[in-house]
Structure 1
Amino acid sequence: MRLRSLRAAVTATASIAAVFGALVMTAAPTAAKADEGMWTFDNFPIQTVNQKYGTHIDQAWLDRVRNASVRIQGCSASFVSPEGLILTNWHCVVGCAQELSTPDQDFVKNGFTAATREEERRCPGQTAEVLTEIVDVTDRVLAAGEGLEGAAFNAARTAEINKIQTEACAGDPKFNCQVISFYRGGRYSLYKFRKFDDVRLVFAPENQAAFFGGDPDNFNFPRYALDAGFLRAYEDGKPVESPNFLKWNPNAPAEGDVTFVSGNPGTTQRLLTMSQLERLRDQQLPVTLIQNSELRGRLLEYSLTGDEAKRVSFDPVFGLENSFKVYYGQQGALTDPAFMARKREEENELRARVAADPALVQKIGDPWADLERVQATARDLYLPYRQLEQSAGGGSQLYAYARAIVRASKNTAMTDAQRAQLTTALTTETPIYADMEEIRMRYWLSKTREYLTVDNPEVKAMLGRESPEALADRLITGTKLADPAFRAQALTMTTAQLAEADPLLAFVIANDDAAKAIGDRWAAAVNAPTARAAEKVAQARFAVYGTNLYPDATFSLRLSYGQVGGWTYRGVTVPAFTYMGGLYERATGSEPFNLAQAFADNESRVNKDVVYDFSSTNDIIGGNSGSPVINAQGEVIGAAFDGNIHSLGGSFGYDGELNRTVTVSTAAITEALRNVYPNPRILEELGVK
């Protein structure tokens, strides 16, 4: 399963209604309960953890963990050696493996192992970032929008945020500076990252080893998955020196052992108001589920047309299936009456306590009513915003290139540093599969016509007298944007020159004003008032419950705490551990329960008593994929890759009795590197004898 940002899954055989019917979240607005919380490193509850678990966590321990934690594209990771070696999940590197593959050499199916440093291969577009500094910039950001509304509010905020980021990075390309909103706008912090642009693949197992059990086991436990991979960060052609790394512990933890997960959870929505949750349930999630389901069907049909089609569609289909399931799980939570009643009760409690404080009412007004009004506007704008701006291109990489180039040609305010960054991104050599591109474009154009209707002016302008199928074929077969050299050349052209140079660029130019207009309307009429009201709700929370709260996830570095443990549901107890011998017992020989070839070939060498995967009470969400699971000594004992079925509603709340993180143990990874995919070089670097 993937816990990449916004991706999750649910077992195909479980009853969603049954799970959510019994689910009672503990996302109380008072201090976090149980092991709940994805805490920022500058507000981690050290005393609470030490008192509960008898640990000795201090600021120095937190700093070591933070400096060893790594953010990669859509996932989390960690340095595990002083020479830039990075541990993450297989499903976080499978995209790289697919891009490095050819029809004759399939690194997804057969795995990838670099026997020497020279064989480590660069992952196109991959980066590695380490958080080096956190600075509170709340006062500056809030002051920038004071007294403004709509587009003026957005412009002022954006200008100030850009100024803060520019000042902090001072034009140094080795850093990435990002102002991040916390508590739905209640706090703003500058996060400064040390960035590495040269990241290379070191090891990835066969896909059948990493994703044994496929969809039936997905978002489930017990699991028998070697969902682990290694990367290495380079700079100036040499491995990065990483003195802050997590020591590799090749031994499995014991039940009850304290565990910490350091990673970048993507998005949670635990602080949304009832009106926001209801629109999510009634409009946004249903549309997303329907469209993802149809696109998945189209790609699955394509995957059956041949071996090469199956190879190139593997990762996109895998990703779509997981994203479909995360939204399906969210919809299950939001359609559960008991869960929604609990959320309403929490909101009513907060609103009542605010109403009882005249001074607080005077300060913040009624932001809940403000947000209800915003939802009415959002309902009207959502479909055109989604189809013309937010999801334009349907995921086509060529369309994304075209839009980035067109908008850069119009952006007179772009700095040299921003243009250089865009140039690097656009000129990176990345495989483009024309058939997949055409499927995505055809799908997007047909859905836009369906949702916005044939008579919609923007639809008429896009399609003209062509069908979605004919237009997609013309644009994808005619464009030169698959060539990095042409993309670099296009960045030097004017908008008028672009329209003459390429049909896909001309298409984007002809329709971009309408897309930009609906995007601007959404920003002014939805985003701006939402930000205003959410800040006031955050002020209310701080006033009523204090500041010892964790914020919603924002794909920023967090630390959660918990302990190794199974769970009991409806009289059935699920143990915390699986063992490598269980893989062979579970294997049937038929997909998706067929053994990976290397595991089948080396069965006699495998120690079947080694702990394979384990579960813990840590609070995580999509984006935590690849997060190091760490013991109290600060050693890495696994890589988080999944959650159990009860964590499906984790976007909206946490249940300490049932929600579990699923982790591939370092014990299993060590055993695999020793006896399944022998790699003494990596073992030596990890300090394993």
Structure 2
Amino acid sequence: MFLTLSMTAALALGAEGKWTPQQVLQQGPAWVKQQGFSLPLSKLWDEKAQGGLLANAVQLPGCSGSFVSKDGLLITNHHCIVSILQEHSTPEHNLTKDGFLAKTQADEKQSKAYRVLVPRRFLDVTKDVLDDLPNNPDDLARYKSVEATGKKLVANCEKQPNTRCTFAVFDGGLFFTLTEFTELSDARLVYAPPVAVGDYGGEVDNWTWPRHTGDFSLIRIYQNGKPYQPKYFFPLSKDGVKENDAVAVLGYPGSTFRAQLADEMAERQSRWYPNVRAITAEWQRIMDEEGAKSPEALIACADDLRSILNVKKNAEGQLAGLKRGRIIEKQRAHEEKVKAFIAKKPELAPALDAYKGLQDLNVERAASWDRDFLLDMTNRSARGLQWPLLIARRSWEAKLPDAEREPGYQERDVVRLREKHERDQKRYAQQLDQRLFVSWVKRALALPNGQRSVTIDFVFKDLKTDAAIEKKVAALYANSKIFDLETRKAMFDESIEQLKARKDALVDLGLGLDAERRALRDRRDAFSGRVLKLRPIWRRAVIASEGKPIAPDANSTLRVSFGRVKGYSPREAVMMTPHTTLAGVMAKDTGEEPFDVPQRIRDVYARGGAEKVPVDFLADLDTTGGNSGSPVIDAKGRLVGVNFDRVWENVANDFGYNPDVARNVTADVRYLLWLLENVEGAPELAKELTTAR
């Protein structure tokens, strides 16, 4: 069943808004037609049949994707399968650089740890959550109650075979959903272009337009040893789209912040993004230097480096966009309008207290901000930090009843955690890792009084120079067994007492830091409990003041955005058209990275006739991180491209939608077809992609 929200009947324009499937159904066929779509609403989703095209928006690790053939062929971005390329790369055969094509199904390369989730049911569980709340709970009890209900719902849902279920909170507790997925764990690499196609332009072109990147890849999903037979798939369109054509993007956007208060946005502007920019710039430099020294290190950091570069440039774009768009000032003005509306509606008066409570909470969070930020960044830092922390947390949680464990460390998660051990071994290079570890430790040692890490201060006490810190870290690495995969696997199943008995200083450091992270989690759980009480009260007042449906912030659940193919003007006297072609690719070719066109493409292009091959296009679809690989379909439900980026002027749309510059970047599937047919010598694969059921 689909949830029903209390909303006005007013039709909302497309473009702005990452709409839940439930909202699309609720706004009805007239609204969908208004977006330019001739498809009947039941084709998107039929509630009675529990099926529709939305079921072909599948969730991948950190990305989205869609099936494109009856035999389990799935399309996503090139950058979404770098982990698979990395898994099968060696210094002699570096697939992350050279790409890969399986000539037959027997040649496809299986991943050890890549899971695909196919949605099959969406449930409103708001009543379940509210019914389970105790009377007058304090902040922590409220959070724990909601978390416990979510775990219970997920556990019951996952009693079905091959099922993964996710519980989601919308806008701080406005409503709650449960999504039921079919989980598929046998993914095999079919095609990835060389990096000189899949990441053409690199960081120079990232978040910009015009763009000339073939950011696509193909994997095949298997079930019981045979190609998976999806109920729905998108045939690729050879017709493409032209300016002002209707399009839609379906996927799993990660996080946006439009429901935040201006004060909360200001914290991200003044603290979060500057700190992210600084630490990722330092880690990028380290990875670049070590990758230049060692082919092994280059492969080990391939996926991490691409992620770090993207995060850094995103932070820069968010800062520029927040300032350029005066987004925080506009949010403050909007809040004043909402408060004026509330003043005329006595029944909404509690929203003013909720607003003040959220402001006070933001101040409280700032007290330990610097330390909390560094503890969070351990998840992106050295494996010498990540692995001890993962093992320490696993040991702590394993002694608890499953229902009381932190999400991510329950029995349902153990297989994934074991897979992470296997996958991450290929991402480890000792000298690179030690330098990343030193970078993090030096920042921890520079924390102000009152925010110090007890663990780091104890381990690195009295060390005042960089050389002394580096020597200490080198000793920790040299004397630890955690970098041996088999030993680390054994540690994964050991108790805290057994880990301590090893007298491994790096493992002990992980146990100490994990205690600090658990204390941070407890504080945040209480904060989240207060948000669950206050945010819904404020958001209901905001929605009432708007008088129309509002799409909730992204939270990694399935969303749909409707829009049009459009160019834009980034500044005065400059107009960007919405399409790029192979001629533009060749015009950028310098013969050097990141603009080094593969020779075989140059050779085919030199024959003539390929100048107008479509490469990328723009639309005003509302996207964010997590939408990478999302299918972009035309008004007939055919796949015309895969989303992979936004323009620079649109990075800060996570905080507010600006129709003048809100443009996403999509890789045109006709470029993929041209490559397969004319460059890669894979006409049968191209035929599979364009064959309808």
Name the amino acid aligned to 1:69.
Answer: A
The equivalent residue for 2:40 is 57
Aligned ranges for residues 146-157 of structure 1 at < 5 Å? 146=134, 147-157=136-146
The equivalent residue for 1:106 is 94
Q: What is the rounded CA distance, in whole Å, between the counterparts of 1:510 and 1:517 in structure 2?
A: 11
Distance 1:394 1:182, change over 3 A: closer
The equivalent residue for 2:552 is 551
Q: What is the rounded CA distance, in whole Å, between the counterparts of 2:219 and 2:62 in structure 1?
A: 15
Question: Which one is further off, 102-111 or 117-126?
Answer: 117-126
Distance 1:122 1:464, change over 3 A: farther
Aligned ranges for residues 621-636 of structure 1 at < 5 Å? 621-636=624-639
Question: Which one is further off, 555-564 or 292-301?
Answer: 292-301
- Counterpart check, 1:69 vs 2:49: no
Distance 1:398 1:236, change over 3 A: farther
Superposed CA deviations along residues 430-454 of structure 1, whole A, max 9, x for unmatched, are 2132233223222211111112469
Q: CA deviation at 1:41?
A: 0.9
Contact 1:408 1:414 in 2 (8 A): no
The equivalent residue for 2:177 is 189
Q: What is the rounded CA distance, in whole Å, between the counterparts of 2:302 and 2:453 in structure 1?
A: 36
Q: What is the rounded CA distance, in whole Å, between the counterparts of 2:240 and 2:220 in structure 1?
A: 24
- Counterpart check, 1:240 vs 2:220: no
Q: CA deviation at 1:420?
A: 5.8
- Counterpart check, 1:268 vs 2:256: yes
Q: CA deviation at 1:458?
A: 4.0
The equivalent residue for 2:147 is 158
Superposed CA deviations along residues 396-416 of structure 1, whole A, max 9, x for unmatched, are 345333323222222233439
Q: What runs of 5+ residues in structure 1 fail to find an aligned partner?
A: 1-29
The equivalent residue for 1:369 is 356
Q: What is the rounded CA distance, in whole Å, between the counterparts of 1:156 and 1:391 in structure 2?
A: 28
Contact 1:354 1:540 in 2 (8 A): yes
Q: What is the rounded CA distance, in whole Å, between the counterparts of 1:342 and 1:427 in structure 2?
A: 45
- Counterpart check, 1:407 vs 2:408: no
Q: Residue 686 of structure 1 aligns to a residue in which SS? A: helix
Superposed CA deviations along residues 482-507 of structure 1, whole A, max 9, x for unmatched, are 44433332233221111233443222
Aligned ranges for residues 638-657 of structure 1 at < 5 Å? 638-657=641-660
The equivalent residue for 2:442 is 446
Question: 1:42 is matched with which residue: 22, 35, 42?
Answer: 22
- Counterpart check, 1:581 vs 2:583: yes
Aligned ranges for residues 246-645 of structure 1 at < 5 Å? 246-336=234-324, 338-362=326-350, 364-388=351-375, 390-392=376-378, 394-411=380-397, 412-415=399-402, 418-419=410-411, 421-427=413-419, 429-430=422-423, 431=426, 432-452=428-448, 457-464=454-461, 467-501=468-502, 502-524=504-526, 526-545=527-546, 548-569=549-570, 570-604=572-606, 607-645=610-648
Distance 1:305 1:455, change over 3 A: same
The equivalent residue for 2:211 is 223
Contact 1:136 1:188 in 2 (8 A): yes
Name the amino acid aligned to 1:384.
Answer: R
Q: CA deviation at 1:37?
A: 1.0
- Counterpart check, 1:96 vs 2:89: no
Q: CA deviation at 1:101?
A: 0.3
Instruction: Give me the identity figure in percent.
Output: 26
The equivalent residue for 1:676 is 679
Q: CA deviation at 1:267?
A: 1.0
Q: Residue 23 of structure 2 aligns to a residue in which SS? A: coil
Contact 1:94 1:204 in 2 (8 A): no
Question: Which one is further off, 406-415 or 640-649?
Answer: 406-415
Q: What is the rounded CA distance, in whole Å, between the counterparts of 2:271 and 2:683 in structure 1?
A: 53
Superposed CA deviations along residues 236-265 of structure 1, whole A, max 9, x for unmatched, are 322211131111212321222110111111
What TM-score comes out, normalization by structure 1 length? Answer: 0.90
Distance 1:618 1:474, change over 3 A: same
Name the amino acid aligned to 1:153.
Answer: R
Contact 2:444 2:452 in 1 (8 A): no
Contact 1:500 1:506 in 2 (8 A): no
Superposed CA deviations along residues 563-595 of structure 1, whole A, max 9, x for unmatched, are 112123422221111111221122122332221
Distance 1:54 1:686, change over 3 A: closer
Contact 1:259 1:630 in 2 (8 A): yes
Contact 1:393 1:440 in 2 (8 A): no
Q: What is the rounded CA distance, in whole Å, between the counterparts of 1:51 and 1:456 in structure 2?
A: 56
The equivalent residue for 1:131 is 119
Superposed CA deviations along residues 380-429 of structure 1, whole A, max 9, x for unmatched, are 022222223x2236523453333232222222334399336314432453
Superposed CA deviations along residues 530-584 of structure 1, whole A, max 9, x for unmatched, are 3322122122234433562211111111111111121234222211111112211
Name the amino acid aligned to 1:59.
Answer: S
Distance 1:456 1:482, change over 3 A: closer
Q: What is the rounded CA distance, in whole Å, between the counterparts of 1:617 and 1:260 in structure 2?
A: 10
Q: What is the rounded CA distance, in whole Å, between the counterparts of 1:84 and 1:474 in structure 2?
A: 49
Q: Residue 594 of structure 1 aligns to a residue in which SS? A: coil
Q: Residue 447 of structure 2 aligns to a residue in which SS? A: helix
Q: Residue 621 of structure 2 aligns to a residue in which SS? A: coil
- Counterpart check, 1:661 vs 2:653: no
Distance 1:299 1:161, change over 3 A: same
- Counterpart check, 1:211 vs 2:213: no
Q: CA deviation at 1:517?
A: 1.6
Distance 1:386 1:566, change over 3 A: same
What TM-score comes out, normalization by structure 2 length? Answer: 0.89
Name the amino acid aligned to 1:402.
Answer: P
Q: What runs of 5+ residues in structure 2 fail to find an aligned partner?
A: 1-9, 46-50, 404-408
Distance 1:438 1:407, change over 3 A: same
Q: Residue 617 of structure 2 aligns to a residue in which SS? A: strand
Q: What is the rounded CA distance, in whole Å, between the counterparts of 2:469 and 2:114 in structure 1?
A: 33
Q: Residue 561 of structure 1 aligns to a residue in which SS? A: strand
Name the amino acid aligned to 2:496.
Answer: T
Q: Residue 42 of structure 1 aligns to a residue in which SS? A: helix
Name the amino acid aligned to 2:443.
Answer: K
Distance 1:299 1:237, change over 3 A: same
Superposed CA deviations along residues 191-236 of structure 1, whole A, max 9, x for unmatched, are 1111112212111111011222222222122211111101111223
Question: Which one is further off, 655-664 or 622-631?
Answer: 655-664
Contact 2:247 2:632 in 1 (8 A): yes
The equivalent residue for 1:119 is 107
Q: CA deviation at 1:645?
A: 1.9
Superposed CA deviations along residues 101-154 of structure 1, whole A, max 9, x for unmatched, are 001101011111111112211234211111111111112223444521232222
Contact 1:434 1:477 in 2 (8 A): no
Q: What is the rounded CA distance, in whole Å, between the counterparts of 1:480 and 1:537 in structure 2?
A: 51
Distance 1:351 1:61, change over 3 A: same
Q: CA deviation at 1:329?
A: 1.6
Q: What is the rounded CA distance, in whole Å, between the counterparts of 1:455 and 1:167 in structure 2?
A: 42
Distance 1:476 1:237, change over 3 A: farther
Name the amino acid aligned to 1:666.
Answer: V
Contact 1:260 1:618 in 2 (8 A): yes
Contact 2:300 2:429 in 1 (8 A): yes
Q: What is the rounded CA distance, in whole Å, between the counterparts of 2:378 and 2:201 in structure 1?
A: 34
Distance 1:159 1:627, change over 3 A: same
Q: Residue 190 of structure 1 aligns to a residue in which SS? A: strand
Q: CA deviation at 1:667?
A: 0.9
